[in-house]
Amino acid sequence: MKAFIFDMDGVIIDSEPIHFDIDVKTMNFFGVTISPHELDEFVGMTNPEMWKILKQKFNISHSVSEIIEYQLSLKIELIRSTEIGPINGIYELILELKKLNILLGIASSSPIKFINEVLLKFKILEYFDCIVSGEEVAKGKPEPDVYLEAAKLLGVDPSECIVLEDSKNGIQSAKSAGMKCFGFINQNSGNQDLSKADIIVNSIRGIKVTDL
């Protein structure tokens, strides 16, 4: 292993409840009633891909960009105003990896603006050698593009990377990129099939760097 690549939502920050709540409110604002459970299948997908499907399914008249602008403003406002910290064990895992001179990357489906807001709030931005948003590549998760781009920026072969993910779409993305993958069971990420992960853990502290 030369590089460890983190997903962000549901792995570094327990943000899926935030996303579900804001996305439901966004749908309500644009005249659609939906339950959080109906959004489970979109965990790990980029905003443009998710809203394109929802816009078509519910015949929303506003553009995808208008929907995202409203949604993102609510999420950033909430992150800035809420007392929230990283998922238990993340600080320790990052520091242990850095001590071993392992390259660190972020490969998230969230917009780069939201990624930066989270990493700055947690004061961990400086630890990452690359950050890639799924909106910056041709195809988001479950396609491998975001992880392949992260490996390219880190200057390592995909086979030398280990990924930490919490969603079916994310694990499929990492495996399609030719990377090993931890599947983290986060109950707040909805009903996710993590069976394709190489190792499944119930807590971040269950990841033993010395075993890698």
Catalytic residues: 7, 9
Nearby residues of 151 by Cβ (< 8 Å), 6 or more positions away: 3, 5, 105, 157, 158, 160, 161, 177, 179
* Torsions phi, psi for 41 (to 5 deg): -65, -15
* Torsions phi, psi for 202 (to 5 deg): -95, -15
What distance in Å separates the CA atoms of residue 99 and residue 181, rounded to the nearest whole number? 21
Q: Which helix (H) or strand (E) holds 55?
A: helix 47-58
Nearby residues of 160 by Cβ (< 8 Å), 6 or more positions away: 1, 2, 3, 151
Structure tokens at 126: 């400086």
The position carrying tokens 């001179």 is 101
Q: Which residues of 98-110 are buried (b: 16+ CB within 10 A; e: fewer)?
A: eeeebbbbbbbbb
